Amino acid sequence: MNVHESEKIAYILESKGYKPTDKREEADIIVFNTCAIREGAEDRVFGNVGALKKLKSKKKDLLIAVCGCSTQKQSTADYIRKTFPFVDIVIGTFNLSRLGDYIDQARSQKVLELWQEGEIDEEQMYLRSSGDNAWVNIMYGCNNFCSYCIVPYVRGREKSREVQNILDEIKRIVKEGKYKKITLLGQNVNSYGKDLKPQVTFSELIRKITALEGDFLLTFMTSHPKDITDDLIDEIAYNKKVIKSLHLPAQSGNNRILKLMNRSYTREKYLEIIKKLKAKVPSITLTSDFIVGFPTETEEEFCDTLSLVKEVGFDSIFAFIYSPREGTVAAKMEGQIPMEEKRKRVNRLLKLEKELQKGKK
């Protein structure tokens, strides 16, 4: 999603007459599109922004902008303005489409503008840079409030795009003839359309998209296990334009930890979904996310995650060390796991995944 938003930023900049450069020293404007999911991502932002101090002092006309999920948090935006006073523009997630106006404004005064909510900008255009894949946002925000996740606080509640607007964008993409794959994006694509009147299910949207003329394949991310339906499984299985793969974050293999995470499903429910998928699509490619070292996670509960990975036999997994995010429920929980132990566990999980991949070859 950040890659796709960066494509939007690139279009805005190009429409203002800018061209990309690989060298910071040549830049007239540098834009950081930030992520708040993990602490490490924010630390890299601060390091990279701070490294521009010398360049800014030499090149007074250089504009520096910081936007995205991290800066949507008032505390982070204030920290950036206080620690890096040479930054010209600080905006969040809801007013990104106005970046062009802020660039004009920043020529005479610094900009700090965070909106608490925003409407879907259907006029947005993109300078697509992802090869033969075209990203298409179908919804924004999230209603799930997983206890570890900052996304609902920086992206707001779920808002689905109207079906016709999505179809119109895909028609334009297909007409360009450059893209073999279209990837639908949302924090939880499975809950698409619940806020529309009349309601539209995600499966219905897929059928409408794949009914369009054109030579393209369709995939999507990210799916939440609690909202996977038999209808959607059938679309993956029998719709010829839908790629036979699914990224389905499990996060943990233990029911107590899943409950603490507020994931709204059990290990058994997750495995039931996987069983249905494999029965109908034996060749399906399955990938997943896991969080290691969630507060109070015991060795035995971590081993439940290892056993889930073994049982499913994922084609690949992404394993992350739990990172406390200010403002989330989990950050306030007692029983935070020491970093050294979290590192050991994530390395064990990644080692297991590597061994399982070797076994498949």
Interval 124-136: pLDDT, tens? 789 998 899 999 9
Predicted confidence (pLDDT) at residue 360 exceeds the cutoff of 90? no
How many Cα atoms sit within 13 Å of 186 on the Cβ side? 24
Predicted confidence (pLDDT) at residue 361 exceeds the cutoff of 90? no
Predicted confidence (pLDDT) at residue 319 exceeds the cutoff of 80? yes
Q: pLDDT exceeding 90 applies to what percent of the chain? A: 91
Banded pLDDT at 72 (limits 50, 70, 90): very high
Give the Cα separation of 148 and 166 in Å (integer).
Answer: 31
Evaluated on CA atoms 13, 18, 20, 23, the torsion sign reads negative
User: Where do the CATH 3.40.50.12160 domains begin and end in the chain?
Assistant: 2-113
pLDDT on residue 357 = 87
* The one-letter amino acid at 156: G
Give the Cα separation of 92 and 200 in Å (integer).
Answer: 29
pLDDT on residue 285 = 97
Predicted confidence (pLDDT) at residue 120 exceeds the cutoff of 90? no
- As a CATH number, domain 244-361 is 3.30.750.200
**Average pLDDT score, the chain:** 95
Predicted confidence (pLDDT) at residue 39 exceeds the cutoff of 90? no
Predicted confidence (pLDDT) at residue 23 exceeds the cutoff of 90? yes
pLDDT on residue 214 = 94
pLDDT on residue 178 = 93
pLDDT on residue 138 = 97
Predicted confidence (pLDDT) at residue 181 exceeds the cutoff of 90? yes
Q: pLDDT exceeding 70 applies to what percent of the chain? A: 100
Banded pLDDT at 79 (limits 50, 70, 90): very high
What are residue 36's phi and psi, to 5 degrees? -110, 5
How many Cα atoms sit within 13 Å of 67 on the Cβ side? 27
Banded pLDDT at 83 (limits 50, 70, 90): very high
Predicted confidence (pLDDT) at residue 232 exceeds the cutoff of 90? yes
User: Where do the CATH 3.30.750.210 domains begin and end in the chain?
Assistant: 130-242
Banded pLDDT at 40 (limits 50, 70, 90): confident
In this structure, which CATH number among 3.40.50.12160, 2.120.10.30, 3.40.50.920, 3.30.70.580 belongs to the domain 2-113? 3.40.50.12160
Fold of 130-242: Transcription Regulator spoIIAA (3.30.750)
pLDDT on residue 227 = 94
Predicted confidence (pLDDT) at residue 338 exceeds the cutoff of 90? yes
* The one-letter amino acid at 170: I
The encoded tokens of residue 140 equal: 């924004």
Banded pLDDT at 258 (limits 50, 70, 90): very high
User: Where do the CATH 3.30.750.200 domains begin and end in the chain?
Assistant: 244-361
Report H helices in 51-196.
53-58, 69-72, 74-83, 99-106, 151-155, 163-176
